[in-house]
Structure 1
Amino acid sequence: MPLPPLSLYVHLPWCERKCPYCDFNSHEIARIPEREYVAALLADLEEDLELIQGRPVSTLFIGGGTPSLFSGAAIERLMAGLGEKLTFADHLEATMEANPGSAEVEKFGEFRRAGINRLSLGVQSFQDEKLQALGRVHNSNQARSAIEQLQQAGFENFNIDLMHGLPGQDQCDALFDLEQAIEFQPPHLSWYQLTIEPNTFFNKHPPVLPAEDNLASIQDCGEALLADRGYTQYEVSAYSRPGKSCRHNVNYWSFGDYLALGAGGHGKITRSDGRITRYAKTRAPADYLKGKQRTVSRRHLGRDEIVEEFMLFALRLNDGFSLQRFEQRTGQSRQLIAPQIASLAQRELLVLDGDNIKTSELGRRFLDSVITEFLH
């Protein structure tokens, strides 16, 4: 069984203020223990080197939390240490999440010099009242300034993160945010609906969100606007100019492998004998820093789980997947999913094009129901 491409995810778990909708492993802190945490990340990698199995790392993604709270010097130490312990592929995509706060913006040039070549900027909205409703620490002017400054710092490849379906938002508001973002000509836009997740402030104190009909109208009009402005939707909430899709996320959705470093990180590794393992790091930053047991769970996936997870991710991609890729990435026969594919195609929820399977426009609207067909 050929090994899939390998990515690396690094989690930096601290933020200035926890957003009320955020269910990620993030923690408010006054002073980040940068030096200690970078040392812990590199020690963690040393313990996991055998998972690489001779492969280069094709993409790197530093997420959080708010990674841009780290200093440029800390990111430089991290990148240098990673480069000493593993092999980065030619044309590495190295993404880092950043917030538009003024303190972070001043460091964009340092991040670029450290080896980061793609920034993902968490704007969420260009309207101050919407940002306040989301509990964001920046305002709309800071968002615009941050985009201008990342471009001045030399970042030709960047993503603007926007949300829709916000409290009090109508279609005009949502399209205004998109128009504002498009004016900066970003190569990539992530545009996704606000959802209320368990264990968040919004879950305990739900805001009033737009009605379902309004959400559908926002989605339809937004997709049409993005297509008209030259952005191709290649995944449920991802839009890009030609050749500018996020390679790191595409590897996730294509059931590729990824190493995980950092408190709360999750990884997936395929072995040459076909075994597929998921593992997780301890969520508590203090425990991660102590280093007694950074990897707290490791689980080998059974056949049904492998098939379910492949379909869960691959069907998010507008181009779908090939049956050959299904067999290569899962080690399973295409006959396992043939009945479901035939049934969904008959109902015009899937489109079959030779070896390729993808959702139809109708199937994308009922994606959860399509994926459920493959769950046991």
Structure 2
Amino acid sequence: MNKKKIYKLPPISLYIHIPWCIKKCPYCDFHSYKKSKKIFEKKYIKNLFQDFKNDKKKISKRKILSVFIGGGTPSLLKLSSIKYFIKKIKKKIIKSKKTEITIEINPDTINSNQLIKYYNFGINRTSIGVQTLNNNLLKKIERTHNKKKTIKLIKSTNKIKNRNLNIDIIYGLPEQSIQDSLNDLKIIINFKPEHISWYLLDIEPNTPFYTKNIKLPSLKKTRKMQKLGKELLIKSGYQQYEISSFARKKKYRCIHNLNYWNFGDYIGIGCGAHGKITKKNKDIVRTIKTKQDSQYIKKKYIQKKYIVSKKDIPFEFFLNKFRLLKPILHQDFENTTNIKKRKIKKKISIAEKHGFLQTKKKSWIITKHGKKKLNSLLSIFLK
């Protein structure tokens, strides 16, 4: 008698959102707002753990793969709050010392000693939002830090044992030249961070830059930036494993982001945080948390909760998977989505006719043309 195949739930991570910033960046569409004189720091942190406790009931005994503290600007929190926060996370939430714990840092909100203490508290991965080291361009994108302070902060990480440092850099900034973009990379590469995220500036609707119709470098120029930047990173010993992600070694790849891109599950706690939890009955539940901190600290955590429609699952799967630079196994699609590949055969055929995909015996491979036309490729799975 054949044994019934047991459905294996995907890995699950934890995302923690800290919504406050020194100043809202004009290109940012993440949920955040300028820090006022009074923020509910202690109450907010206490509510984060209650929020997690409520969500934990939905995941039973599943182990947390990674923790990511993002924002907003988490490094705005007091050092004592971070210490308390991490101690409680390690005691109540994660069981393994090897669990990746990342915190995002704005160079203007933290000094060298504070950053070193983050590692002492148990954070084992830091991500500094440098964006650019050109002071003129920093002013154009209305960032509050400068080149000198940023370099001093990065240099201080050399003292950290078992450092795991990511640097975020953006190219395609207003009035940025190709040489400007490469200069940023060259300077950062000299510090040998374990990971570099090399992003193209994407202006989203509902941001001040979108409203102002800011003039950006041409598509031809940004493609040249991307090509030359990628060549420089690879020549300097970095391995590209995702559209915008480069790691010096495989062990420095971001576990948390890889879980997103592999269509894993994640609990999202904090104002405006999104979550995705797969239930034992194979339903995928999406959650969006309350956006206002004044409501959140009153224990009004959930803004929206819904089950993802079966017809939307392939799009959500490929939206993440196409970012990774490797073949997508047919078996992986079926195991992760609980949908047979024959159900998307017509859409795959359309993608092949446009030259976006190639179908192999056991996998789909995105072509060079498909990578350039990623939005067009994804739109096929939306129809």
Q: What TM-score bracket applies, with the shorter chain setting the length? A: over 0.9
3-state SS of paired residue (2:271): coil
Take 1:53 and 1:104, find their aligned partners in 2: how far apart are those partners?
Answer: 39
Residue 123 (structure 1) shift: 0.2
Map Cα deviations across residues 169-224 of structure 1 (whole Å, 9 max, x no partner): 11111111111111111111111111222222212223221122211211111122
3-state SS of paired residue (1:101): helix
Take 1:241 and 1:103, find their aligned partners in 2: how far apart are those partners?
Answer: 25
Matched-pair contact (CA < 8 Å) for 2:350–2:380: no
Residue 144 (structure 1) shift: 0.8
Take 1:189 and 1:247, find their aligned partners in 2: how far apart are those partners?
Answer: 14
Take 1:92 and 1:354, find their aligned partners in 2: how far apart are those partners?
Answer: 36
Letter in 2 for 1:63: G
Superposed, 1:175-324 pairs within 5 Å as: 175-243=182-250, 244-291=252-299, 293-324=300-331
Residue 73 (structure 1) shift: 1.8
Residue 370 (structure 1) shift: 1.4
What is the match of residue 371 of structure 2? 364
TM-score normalised over the length of structure 2: 0.93
**Aligned CA distance change for structure 1 residues 65 and 155 (closer, same or farther; 3 Å):** farther
Superposed, 1:92-171 pairs within 5 Å as: 92-101=99-108, 103-154=110-161, 156-171=163-178
TM-score normalised over the length of structure 1: 0.95
Which has the larger displacement, 161-170 or 30-39? 30-39
Residue 353 (structure 1) shift: 4.5
Map Cα deviations across residues 151-179 of structure 1 (whole Å, 9 max, x no partner): 32445211100001111111111111111
Which has the larger displacement, 57-66 or 239-248? 239-248
**Aligned CA distance change for structure 1 residues 122 and 259 (closer, same or farther; 3 Å):** same
Asked if residue 26 in structure 1 is aligned to residue 32 in structure 2, the reply is yes
**Aligned CA distance change for structure 1 residues 154 and 32 (closer, same or farther; 3 Å):** farther
Residue 32 (structure 1) shift: 3.6
Take 2:116 and 2:267, find their aligned partners in 1: how far apart are those partners?
Answer: 27
Letter in 2 for 1:99: N
Gaps of 5+ in 2: 1-6
Take 1:159 and 1:73, find their aligned partners in 2: how far apart are those partners?
Answer: 24
Take 1:87 and 1:67, find their aligned partners in 2: how far apart are those partners?
Answer: 20
Residue 16 (structure 1) shift: 0.9
Letter in 1 for 2:34: E
Residue 102 (structure 1) shift: 5.8
Take 2:248 and 2:349, find their aligned partners in 1: how far apart are those partners?
Answer: 33
Take 2:215 and 2:119, find their aligned partners in 1: how far apart are those partners?
Answer: 40
Take 2:140 and 2:326, find their aligned partners in 1: how far apart are those partners?
Answer: 35
Matched-pair contact (CA < 8 Å) for 2:132–2:184: yes
Percent identity (aligned): 36
Take 1:262 and 1:358, find their aligned partners in 2: how far apart are those partners?
Answer: 37
Matched-pair contact (CA < 8 Å) for 1:158–1:188: yes
Letter in 1 for 2:285: T
Aligned residues: 375
Gaps of 5+ in 1: none
What is the match of residue 8 of structure 2? 2
**Aligned-pair Cα RMSD in Å:** 1.7
Map Cα deviations across residues 113-138 of structure 1 (whole Å, 9 max, x no partner): 22110011000001100111111110
What is the match of residue 4 of structure 2? none
Residue 31 (structure 1) shift: 4.3
Residue 313 (structure 1) shift: 1.0
Residue 347 (structure 1) shift: 4.8
Matched-pair contact (CA < 8 Å) for 1:6–1:56: yes
3-state SS of paired residue (2:152): helix
3-state SS of paired residue (1:2): coil
Asked if residue 12 in structure 1 is aligned to residue 12 in structure 2, the reply is no
